[in-house]
Structure 1
């Protein structure tokens, strides 16, 4: 079981792509990987997303939506859904 907190912070775009490949390999080998992340390049390829919010600090801390990235977008709740929708459109 791996827990990573904001692993893309400070990484170049190509390094983020490499990190995604490494995380995919960990999962392919039967590992569970929990990532706390704001970088939508990583969020959009997640198997399951739990969106906390709706804001930060005292305005947050509640589950706004959960599911696949596509399900988060379809629910349309919170800031993440709006920005994730744009990212998924660009990825197609």
Structure 2
């Protein structure tokens, strides 16, 4: 199992693409990969998204949306998911 916290921080866009390929390769090899990430290029390539919100700090920590990126995008109006709102624009 790999757990990565914001692995795209400071990366060039081309490197984000390469990172996404590496993450898929790790999964293809049978590994579990958990990524804490705000970069929507990475989020939209996830198999499953768990959106924690609504805000940070004391207002956060609740699961407000979960599912495939498409499911999170489709339900953003009901869940008030910021991630879903922005995913909808990219998918």
The answer, yes or no, to whether TM exceeds 0.5 is: yes
- Mark the runs of 5 or more structure 2 residues left unpaired by the alignment: none
Q: Report the equivalent of 2:34.
A: 34
Q: TM-score, normalised by structure 1?
A: 0.93
Q: Report the equivalent of 1:61.
A: 61
How far is the alpha carbon of 1:87 from its aligned partner? Answer: 1.6
How far is the alpha carbon of 1:36 from its aligned partner? Answer: 0.3
Q: Report the equivalent of 2:48.
A: 48
Instruction: Determine if the alignment matches structure 1 residue 3 to structure 2 residue 3.
Output: yes
Alpha-carbon distance in structure 2 between the residues aligned to 1:30 and 1:37: 21
Q: Give aligned pairs, total.
A: 88
Q: Report the equivalent of 1:79.
A: 82
Q: Partner of 1:71: helix, strand, or coil?
A: helix
Alpha-carbon distance in structure 1 between the residues aligned to 2:37 and 2:22: 16
Alpha-carbon distance in structure 2 between the residues aligned to 1:51 and 1:38: 10
1:33-82 per-position Cα deviation (integer Å, ceiling 9, x unaligned): 00000000000000000000011111111000100000001111211111
1:7-37 per-position Cα deviation (integer Å, ceiling 9, x unaligned): 0000000000000000010000100000000
Alpha-carbon distance in structure 2 between the residues aligned to 1:23 and 1:74: 25
